[in-house]
Amino acid sequence: MNSRIGGVIVSHGQVANELLSAAETVVGELAHIAAVSIGWHDDVEAAKGEIERAIKKVSNGRGVLLMTDMFGGTPTNIAAMFIKEKEVELVTGVNLPMVLKLATTDGDANLAEVAKSVEEQGKQSIYRTGSLLEIHKTV
């Protein structure tokens, strides 16, 4: 298999681990995606070290996409220190469809294109489901 763009999910608490685990339940093992859960009381330097190790682990020479839980939060702020053009991109507000999007993306798209498609997938996948119920009544 061709090398793939790597991914690191970074979050407060255990959200990152659980998102990765949910995605793996759906599509199988994801060796090119890692999770870093930052404890509420973790030291910033320790958290930085963990993200750095995770980036190295999933990096295949095609770049790494960091996906963090919330813009403005500590996990995002620490992850943002690693942004580097063509090597590391960051998308915030990670949800399961975004992880699945990255998990199922292969091919030749570059890091910036993949980052954009993951961002768009995340936004597109949010529905106010009540507004769909009328349509769902039709089978």
Which residues contact another protein by CB under 8 A? Answer: 25-28, 97, 100-101, 104, 121, 125, 132, 135-136, 138-139
To another protein, the closest distance from the beta carbon of 111 in angstroms equals 20
CA 41: distance to chain centroid?
Answer: 22
Nearer CB in complex with another protein: 27/81: 27
Of 32, 37, 16, 17, residue with least CA distance to 104: 32
Nearer CB in complex with another protein: 12/101: 101
Q: Which residue has the tokens 């330097």?
A: 45
**Secondary structure of residue 86 in the 3-state scheme:** coil
Q: CA–CA separation, 67 vs 130, rounded Å?
A: 28
Nearer CB in complex with another protein: 38/65: 65
To another protein, the closest distance from the beta carbon of 115 in angstroms equals 16
Beta strands in 46-95 (DSSP E): 64-68, 88-91
To another protein, the closest distance from the beta carbon of 129 in angstroms equals 9
To another protein, the closest distance from the beta carbon of 26 in angstroms equals 5
